[in-house]
Chains A and B, each alone.
Chain A
Amino acid sequence: MLRRKEKRVKEMSADISIRKVKVLQGRAKAEAEKQGLNPNDLVILKTSVNSLPEYHVEKIEGDPVSFLLKRAKTKT
Chain B
Amino acid sequence: MSASSVQVPQIVLVLCHSFFYDAFCVERPVDLKKFKLWLSSRFIANLIIERQAELPEGSSFAVTAKQVFDNFAYKFHGNKPSFRQREVVDILRNSILVIETPSITKLSIDDAVLVICDTLYSRSSYTPILLTNIPAKLERAEDFYRKKDPKAKIPYPISSTVEAEPYLRSIFPELSRTVDTRMKNSVYKF
A contact residues vs B (CB 8 Å cutoff): 8, 11-12, 15-20, 22-23, 40, 42, 44, 61-76
Whether the pair B185, A18 counts as a contact (CB closer than 8 A) is no
**With A62-B185, A65-B23, A68-B92 known to touch, is A42 a contact of B84 (CB < 8 Å)?**
no
Whether the pair A63, B92 counts as a contact (CB closer than 8 A) is no
**With A42-B53, A65-B24 known to touch, is A72 a contact of B46 (CB < 8 Å)?**
no
**With A22-B54, A62-B182 known to touch, is A76 a contact of B83 (CB < 8 Å)?**
yes
Q: Main SS of chain B's interface residues?
A: helix
- Distance of A69 Cα from B45 Cα, bound (Å): 12
B81 to chain A, nearest CB (A): 9
How many A-B Cβ pairs are below 8 Å?
Answer: 89
Whether the pair B182, A71 counts as a contact (CB closer than 8 A) is no
B contact residues vs A (CB 8 Å cutoff): 23-24, 26, 42, 45-46, 49-50, 52-54, 76-77, 82-88, 90-92, 94-95, 178-179, 182-183, 185-188
- Distance of A18 Cα from B52 Cα, bound (Å): 8
**With A70-B187, A76-B82 known to touch, is A16 a contact of B179 (CB < 8 Å)?**
no
Whether the pair A63, B182 counts as a contact (CB closer than 8 A) is yes
- Distance of A7 Cα from B179 Cα, bound (Å): 35
Looking at the complex, which one of B26, B50, B84, B86 makes contact with A74 (CB distance below 8 Å)? B84
- Which B residues lie within 8 Å of A16 (CB)? 87, 90-91, 94
- Distance of A20 Cα from B51 Cα, bound (Å): 9
Looking at the complex, which one of B45, B54, B92 makes contact with A23 (CB distance below 8 Å)? B54
- Which B residues lie within 8 Å of A66 (CB)? 42, 183, 186-188
Whether the pair A63, B53 counts as a contact (CB closer than 8 A) is no
* Most chain A beta-carbon neighbours within 10 Å: one of B45, B85, B91, B95: B91
**With A17-B94, A18-B94, A23-B53 known to touch, is A69 a contact of B83 (CB < 8 Å)?**
no
Looking at the complex, which one of B49, B53, B76, B82 makes contact with A65 (CB distance below 8 Å)? B49
